[in-house]
Chain A
């Protein structure tokens, strides 16, 4: 039995494919960024994209449970980015 995508038309499938491609491009910059700052910028962009993608999963599975997951993921990603940015700022001395 193949998994079916219940409530999607072609425009929503194109939108989800665009989000997947955006995550792949962010992963490319995360892998080959020359410095640690490029990797942090890529992680920040990917976290916002993944928050929108998780909220899209809520619409895909037709359950509002994933909206809580998206909110908590956004909060944790913000704390992560600020903490890592403070870390790079600190090692200049």
Chain B
């Protein structure tokens, strides 16, 4: 039982660490919102599940905290994303190198609009 609880604690802490790492690593506000919300929500819920397995008497309060995080964290990030979008921040695009072939440069970039003949 304790080994399963430690496994969930390690999984949750690893997802929390990955979320914070994505928060430092990502280039844009929108990417940081994605990396910092989904991974951290899963990590926190998994960590609380590990605590509930470690101390089975506390399952009601831990379930309250986990449900609250599961409901409010996406709402908070959605509110931040809406506020940032309405404040006028444009999404980030990967820079295209000037000397390279534009068909191979970035497969995720938006295609150039073709000139009308």
Name A's B-contacting residues (CB within 8 A). Answer: 9, 11-12, 14-16, 18-19, 21-26, 28-29, 35, 37-38, 40-42, 44-45, 48-49, 51-52, 55-56, 58-59, 62, 64, 67-68, 70-71, 74-75, 78, 81-82, 85-86, 88-89, 91-92
Residues on B with C-beta less than 8 A from A68 are 61
Most buried by A among B43, B58, B65: B65
Once A and B bind, how many residue pairs between them come within 8 Å at the CB atom? 164
Most buried by A among B20, B50, B57, B75: B20
* B interface: dominant SS: helix
CA distance A29 to B23 in the complex (A): 7
A71 is contacted by which of B12, B43, B64, B83 (Cβ under 8 Å)? B64
Residues on A with C-beta less than 8 A from B36 are 41-42, 44-45
Residues on A with C-beta less than 8 A from B72 are 74, 78
Q: Is A85 touching B23 in the complex (CB atoms < 8 A)?
A: no
1/0 per residue B52-85: CB within 8 Å of A?
A: 0011011001101100110011011101101110
